Chains A and B, each alone.
Chain A
Amino acid sequence: QSVLTQPPSVSAAPGQKVTISCSGSSSNIGNNYVSWYQQLPGTAPKLLIYENNKRPSGIPDRFSGSKSGTSATLGITGLQTGDEADYYCGTWDSSLSAHVFGTGTKVTVL
């Protein structure tokens, strides 16, 4: 059972925007950087956002991250069918002394 809670699913039409929340606590999100990962069906996770809001080279600026207090948010604008995937947040939990991932959110493009 993950200490980071995400909505099970979100959906929107092509071209629209979705946001995915990741709720934690002071022992994880509140005092550590957050990363976001995209997992396309049948593939390994891919890093989308690191250090709360930075994008690795090659990740389009349609993807954005933010953090406030003990929650983080991933935003996807200009939604495309290729964005249909599972998305996970991740961070370090100082109380558990463990890397932790969120429960995952499935994005559906209507």
Chain B
Amino acid sequence: QLQLQESGPGLVKPSETLSLTCTVSGGSISSSSYYWGWVRQPPGKGLEWIGSIYYSGTTYYNPSLKSRVTISVDTSKKQFSLKLNSVTAADTAVYYCARHAHDPNFDYWGQGTLVTVSS
């Protein structure tokens, strides 16, 4: 059974960089059929897609966040990572990593990790 697990600091200061890693277990991160993405959810609000990466390193990002986002992959460690720079309180959210197919259905999700932006 495929499992995804987010890890990283739960508290980030304003203007600094949020960094999270997602570790994939129980399956291959190098499958040609899937992308690996990040989705966030501010407290009490809806879901927002941040960006996705293919095992080859090809990325695509939400245009609203593109200028601040970098997603990378390390297939040897079966991990992919998110960096979001210049964070503000508006970036406070539960961050999920997830797998999705070309047909954009997100079929496996991590449990999520709350990141709070505060000084």
A residues near B (Cβ < 8 Å) are 2, 32-33, 35, 37, 43-47, 50-51, 56, 88, 90-92, 96-104
Contacts and interface: CB of A to CB of B under 8 A. Distances in A.
A88 B46 contact: yes
Contacts of A32: 104
A50 B110 contact: no
A45 B109 contact: yes
B109 A44 contact: yes
Nearest 7 A-B pairs (CB), nearest first?
A: A50-B105, A99-B49, A35-B105, A44-B109, A101-B47, A104-B46, A92-B104
Nearest to A101: B47
Nearest to A92: B104
Contact of B110 (A2, A44, A47, A92): A44
Contact of A50 (B39, B107, B109): B107
A77 to B, nearest CB: 22
A99 B107 contact: no
A96 B22 CA distance: 26
Contacts, number: 62
B60 A33 contact: no
Contact of A90 (B63, B96, B104): B104
A69 to B, nearest CB: 19
Interface of B: 37, 39, 46-49, 52, 60, 62-64, 96, 100, 103-107, 109-112
B62 A2 contact: no
A47 B107 contact: yes
A103 B46 contact: yes
A97 B66 CA distance: 11
A51 B60 CA distance: 21
B62 A98 contact: yes
A101 B49 contact: yes
A51 B46 contact: no
Contacts of A101: 39, 46-49
A90 B60 contact: no
A103 B105 CA distance: 17
- Give the interface centre of A37, A97, A98 by most chain B CB atoms within 10 Å: A98
